[in-house]
Amino acid sequence: MASLFGFGPSAKVEIEIASKGDGEKRKTITIDNTDGTKTELPIFTHGESIDGTVRVVLPPGKKLDHIGIRLEIIGIIDLFYDKGNSQEFTSRCDELETQGQLDKTKEYTFKFENVNMQYESYNGTNVQLRYYLRATVQKSSYSQITKEQDLWVQGIGEPPEINNSIKMEVGIEDCLHIEFEYDKQKYHMKDCVLGKIYFLLVRIKIKHMELSIVRRETISGANGSTQNDTVTKFEVMDGAPIRGESIPIRLFLDGYDLTPTYKMVNNKFSVRYYLNLVLVDEEDRRYFKQQEINMWRHEIG
């Protein structure tokens, strides 16, 4: 279709992100795409400027008439199952050039400052929070060349001033009574979950016990949904415990696919984490107890 308007392969647009101002190499992150491919994206932090170069590349001897060249920075929340219900929460536009003609490759430097990047990027099961640059060469009212470059935004969370331990009792009347304790309720993403499980009453034949981390992605609204995904699961105990026995828990979080906790971002979605303790008896009946925990980022990358 593009060739009908006369510029098909004759021109292309490139976006190059500049390195950090202090000469430090910008960190990157590898993201899994919905089609199974992977993309490496530059990481930006809240409040950081976004600068670089837009390049309109023309083969030798070619010319390009246009009615404007612009660059936008866009922050958007996309629902994978409802693309028509996307929500744009930030948008800035820089006009690089007004109407004119290009007869050779041309570069335009850009710099976006004080962009609203209050939310962390997120690539979930049913929802995506995305930041991207979009360069557009407007050929005519009906034809344009575009190029998009995604960015990944992260932010360092504040260490909690209060981080109490979690103590709970759970049981089945006259059959099972356990008490479990976790050292705290808020964890950074490379932290370690420490705890203990006390068996106060055991009258059922327990086969094993496991602990898992569950991520719960919730989308609000009339077409909302809730998706539970098990991030990791490991066996805490194999065999039947006896009354008075204490089982230690030590779960290192580093290396797992974790994100910070998202609490109803822009009234659109939330992401929460739970520690799920499961006991399985010899008849494969499962007894479980969930406890919500908060996750926060303490370093970029």
Q: What is the pLDDT of residue 4?
A: 40
Cβ-count burial of 271 within 10 angstroms (0-12 exposed, 13-18 middle, 19+ buried)?
buried
271 and 191 belong to one structural domain: yes
187 and 290 belong to one structural domain: yes
- Whole domain around residue 30: which residue ranges? 2-154
208 and 281 belong to one structural domain: yes
Write the secondary structure of 136-178 as one string of H (helix), E (strand) and C (coil). EEECCCCCEEEEEEEEEEECCCCCCCCCCCEEEEEEECCCEEE
Q: What is the pLDDT of residue 3?
A: 42
Q: What is the pLDDT of residue 9?
A: 53
Q: Give the CA dihedral 175, 292, 130, 29, nearest 10 degrees.
A: -90
Q: What is the pLDDT of residue 1?
A: 40
DSSP annotation of 23 reads S
Tell me which residues of the chain have a pLDDT lower than 70: 1-9, 22
Q: What CA–CA distances, in Å, run from 133 to 110, 149, 151, 181?
A: 11, 5, 8, 47
Residue 9 is assigned to a structural domain of this protein = yes
Q: What is the pLDDT of residue 60?
A: 87
Q: How many other C-beta atoms are found inside a 10 Å radius of the C-beta of residue 211?
A: 20
100 and 42 belong to one structural domain: yes
Q: Quote the number of domains for the chain.
A: 2
- The CATH number that applies at residue 248 is 2.60.40.640
- Contact indicator for 268, 219 with CB cutoff of 8 Å: yes
Say which residues have a Cβ less than 8 Å from residue 140's Cβ, sequence separation at least 6. Answer: 5, 67
128 and 171 belong to one structural domain: no
Residue 160 is assigned to a structural domain of this protein = no
Residue 159 is assigned to a structural domain of this protein = no
Amino acid at 102: L
16 and 149 belong to one structural domain: yes
The model carries a pTM of 0.88
241 and 173 belong to one structural domain: yes
Q: Quick: pLDDT tens for 261-279.
A: 999 999 999 999 999 998 8
Residue 161 is assigned to a structural domain of this protein = no
